[in-house]
A and B are shown apart, each in its own frame.
Chain A
Amino acid sequence: MNNHNVWATVFSAGTFAQMLRSATPVALAALGGLMTEHAGIMNIGMDGMILMGAFVAAVASYFCASAAMGVLAAVAFGILIGLFFALFTVKLKSDEFIIGCALNTFALGVTAYLSREIFGLSGTSGYLVPCLPDVTIPLINKIPFVGEVLSGHSVFVYITWILVVLMWLFVYRTPVGFWIRASGESPETLRTAGKNPERMKWIASILCGVFCGLAGAHLSLGYLNGSFVEGMSASRGYIAFACVIFAAANPPKAYLAALMFGFFDALGLRLQDYISSDLTGTIPYLITIVMMVYVVVSGQKRRERLARQQLKKIETP
């Protein structure tokens, strides 16, 4: 193997196309996760939400013989699971961490049980259900490198781009988005302003459920071309959570973080011959830890600086 070959493999169109594919389910879930993050709920139950969403989408697609129905069912289910999550974390004030953990395990159990009961299959063998279409973008698909990277993906890859923009607008440019952020940062202030922070948390939780449902639907109907596999969320919920933390809950940044995870995922697959994919697989997680330390430390520094300035103002009359 020579060096030129390695670089050619790393920066080939295939790597970037794979990056987009790997990033999309994570990005979708991250869009949901950043809503709960803004509302001040630590949601580590996303993995379970994705898994159940994937299962519901596959089952609905199978019985209705239509992938669109699958997506619809996943969204409807996402609303339900968001309500369920909010019932415990907001209404009953349970420990969000406990509920998240339990939700993940519950999803693992209930999807495996039902998929065995409905389809009579065990383990990883999938069954095919109607899947979502791939999209070829006209004109762009003619451009040599760019076309290969951007065109020909499952439809949700492109829907995610639109959703990222919409979510950015929603979070930072609409009153409801503002209230949701306030419900996490300073619920009492929001209450004083006459808005109910609990209601905002409910909304955030439902939105999170919907996005995780979409992520699941994409996973089973788009990413894997119409099949459900037990445990197919494969910790994507945790990765999405990492993206949210990484991006400080900003939608475009979260998408970039998901792209980074996708890149390392693709890199691991591409470089299997040269370096163990198990080692490249650790990189995003380590980067997340480093980023978290950086975010926290720089935040403390900033607060210290502000405090010192305030002190100076008070001391100098």
Chain B
Amino acid sequence: MKKRLNVGYLVALLISLAVALLIGAAILAISGHNPLVAYRALLGGAFSNGRHIGDMLEYAMVLCLCGLACDIGSRVGIFNVGGEGQLLLGAIFAAQIGVWLDGTSAWIAIPLAALGAMAVGGFYAWIPGVLKVKLKVNEVITTIMLNTVAAFLCQFLAKGPWKNANKNIVAGTGNLPSAFWFSKLVPGSNLSTAIIFSAIITFLVWYILQKTTKGYEMRLTGDNPRFALFAGLKTDRIVIITMVISGMMCGLCGMFRVYGAEHIYKSSVSNEYYFEGLMVAMIAQYQPLPTVIISLIFAILKIGAMGMETAAGVPKQLYLIIQTVVIFCMAAETGIRVAIGKAREKRQAALDIKTRREGGAAHE
């Protein structure tokens, strides 16, 4: 049963991707580009040289971490939409900790920065978590509000108290001392050793969710909170802790962006990357393994689109269209499947009644 479902999902995903690419091609053709040329340029943009592949993998890493943060939240039935804020706050605190600890050993500074980023991200996720569990306040709305608050706060810090000494940088913290930079795996690209840590985190998340009792308890809490409560689980605590962990992952992701790629906090640390991660998680139906694969696909689309813009003169925003059409297709596919299932059930029920009636008639 489970296997068949997976195959169904894979087919749906492939069809959705194909439809999205076709619609993208239609848009390209209508606006006067050759779709084949554009798509070739897109692939070239993602794979043509090491730098592009590095950038692509780094972006996939960000999407994957954000997507997983959303996955674990949804596993216990809480929606962390506030990852963007947690990521930004984690990034700015990590950057500032690095600036403060200038001159100390990297072995002290980097763990402290990671802890700081996780603490801030975790705390920022704890607020909506507690509000949801204790007071039943809708976490989607609070996290969306908190996202904007975090963005404003980071702007304030980057323009005010923590501003870069360089006058040309309007909003940004001080430059990260180069001793703390994660070493690059591909020179000139954004890809750094952060991806190794991310891979470890990804594996841990997968392992905990799929293979341990804790993961099972989380799923139980999400699927049937009342049953979980009666089974003796402290569901409130599980939800809050999961939310905090989700926030910590986002904070850490922000730190990776600063220490691995940007080497300074400025607004380019995240341009609503979390929302793209969220879309990845949605398409992956909140499962860890598909999350990894779809973040790779999305990263290819995005980094490739940038290459496509320079090579073929197609506005790079095409990738957003393709990504969202995939979601619409997946949603439509699920909806249609459910509708067909219901219609079949109804027909079956009608048939049952009919046979029973006829059977009854035969008995008489």
Contact = CB atoms under 8 A, between A and B. Distances in A.
A172 interface: no
B282 interface: yes
Given A97-B140, A116-B315, A245-B141, A293 B131 contact: yes
A288 B142 CA distance: 8
Contacts of A98: 282, 327, 331
19 contacts: A44-B140, A44-B144, A92-B339, A95-B282, A101-B282, A102-B328, A109-B318, A109-B324, A113-B31, A113-B317, A238-B144, A238-B145, A238-B148, A278-B155, A279-B156, A282-B152, A285-B149, A289-B131, A296-B137
A14 B148 CA distance: 26
Contacts of A273: none
B188 to A, nearest CB: 25
A105 B320 contact: yes
A117 B315 CA distance: 8
Nearest to A108: B320
B328 A88 contact: yes
Question: Which of B31, B275, B315, B332 has the most chain A CB within a 10 Å cutoff?
Answer: B315
Instruction: Tell me what chain B mostly uses at the interface: helix, strand, loop, or mixed.
Output: helix
A282 B79 contact: no
A106 B320 contact: yes
Given A92-B338, A278-B152, 12 more contacts: A106-B325, A106-B328, A109-B320, A109-B323, A238-B144, A238-B145, A238-B148, A245-B141, A282-B153, A285-B146, A286-B149, A300-B136
The 3 A-B residue pairs with the shortest CB-CB distance, nearest first, are: A109-B320, A92-B335, A106-B324
A42 interface: yes
B331 A88 contact: yes
Interface in A273-317: 276, 278-279, 281-282, 285-286, 288-289, 292-293, 296-297, 300
Nearest to B157: A278
Contacts of A300: 135-136
Instruction: Tell me what chain A mostly uses at the interface: helix, strand, loop, or mixed.
Output: helix
Contacts of B321: 106, 109-110, 113
Interface of B: 27, 31-32, 79, 131, 135-138, 140-142, 144-146, 148-149, 152-153, 155-156, 159-160, 275-276, 278-279, 282, 315, 317-321, 323-325, 327-328, 331-332, 334-336, 338-339
A113 B309 CA distance: 11
A148 to B, nearest CB: 29
B338 A93 contact: yes
Interface string A231-261: 0000100100110010000000000000000
A256 to B, nearest CB: 18
A297 B135 CA distance: 7
B282 A296 contact: no
A111 to B, nearest CB: 8
B320 A276 contact: no
Question: Which of A42, A99, A113, A122 has the most chain B CB within a 10 Å cutoff?
Answer: A113
